[in-house]
Structure formats: structure tokens, C-alpha cells
Amino acid sequence: MAAMAGKLMNSLKSKEFREYLMSTHFWGPVANWGIPIAAIADTRKDAAMISGKMTLALSLYSIMFMRFAWRVQPRNMLLFACHFTNECAQLTQGARFINYHHLGGKEAASQPASE
């Protein structure tokens, strides 16, 4: 176990790792994490506020960038994970939008709770 920890520390101290931390291959995905974090936070908000067009646009955006992250050499798994997370969050928001606007969620929310 100690040998594995030592190997990890040497890897983290390497020139290649420092160069990776100073590249757009790292900072681009880090900056993009704001999108899925906001989408996950929005799942707690009222479904009436969801924009169907924006949800669709962000879903398509994430699908395209997941493909890009997979195809670029070397593969950018941090970018892939970011857009995979965003895709899941946008699909959740899309399901909430459809439920609210097309499957009776709006009517159920407007009726008073019966006791």
C-alpha cells in the first residue's frame, strides 16, 4: 500500500501532471462543471419554471460534447464526465417538464390538497 501511495505522489509531482493542470484539457472541463451543478440545483425548483427549449438545447449540447470528449486524442474523460452528468440532469429536467406540461402535473399542482 505504501508503494502505491509513493507511486501516486511521484505521479502527482511529475512534469506531465503539472502540464496537464495548466492545459485547456483540464481547465475547460473544470469551467464547464457549472452547467451540470446548476441543472442539478434546479431539480429542487418548481417545474413551472423549466424551459423545454433550453432543456432540449442543453441536452443536445451535452451529447455533442460527450462525443467530442471521446473522440479527441487524448480522450478527455473529465470533459466526458462533465457532459454525461449534465445530460443526466437535463433528461431529469426534461422529464419534469413533460410531466408538468403534458401529463397533468400542472392541473395536479393547481388543485388544493384534499384531506
- Domain regions of the chain by residue span: 52-107
pLDDT bin (cut points 50, 70, 90) of residue 71 is very high
- How confident is the model over 10-69, as pLDDT tens digits? 777 777 777 777 777 788 888 999 999 999 999 999 999 999 999 999 999 999 999 999
Mean pLDDT, to the nearest integer, of 67-89?
Answer: 94
How many Cβ atoms from other residues are within 10 Å of residue 90's Cβ? 25
Residue 70 and residue 48: Cα distance in Å, rounded? Answer: 35
Say what the pLDDT of residue 1 is.
77
Say what the pLDDT of residue 5 is.
79
Decide if 91 contacts 56 (C-beta within 8 A). Answer: no
**Per-residue pLDDT for 113 more than 70?**
no
Decide if 94 contacts 60 (C-beta within 8 A). Answer: no
Decide if 99 contacts 46 (C-beta within 8 A). Answer: no
Say what the pLDDT of residue 42 is.
93
Q: Which amino acid, 107?
A: E
- The model carries a pTM of 0.77
Decide if 50 contacts 98 (C-beta within 8 A). Answer: no
For 98, counting Cβ atoms within 10 Å of its Cβ (0-12 exposed, 13-18 middle, 19+ buried), the class is middle
Say what the pLDDT of residue 79 is.
93
pLDDT bin (cut points 50, 70, 90) of residue 88 is very high
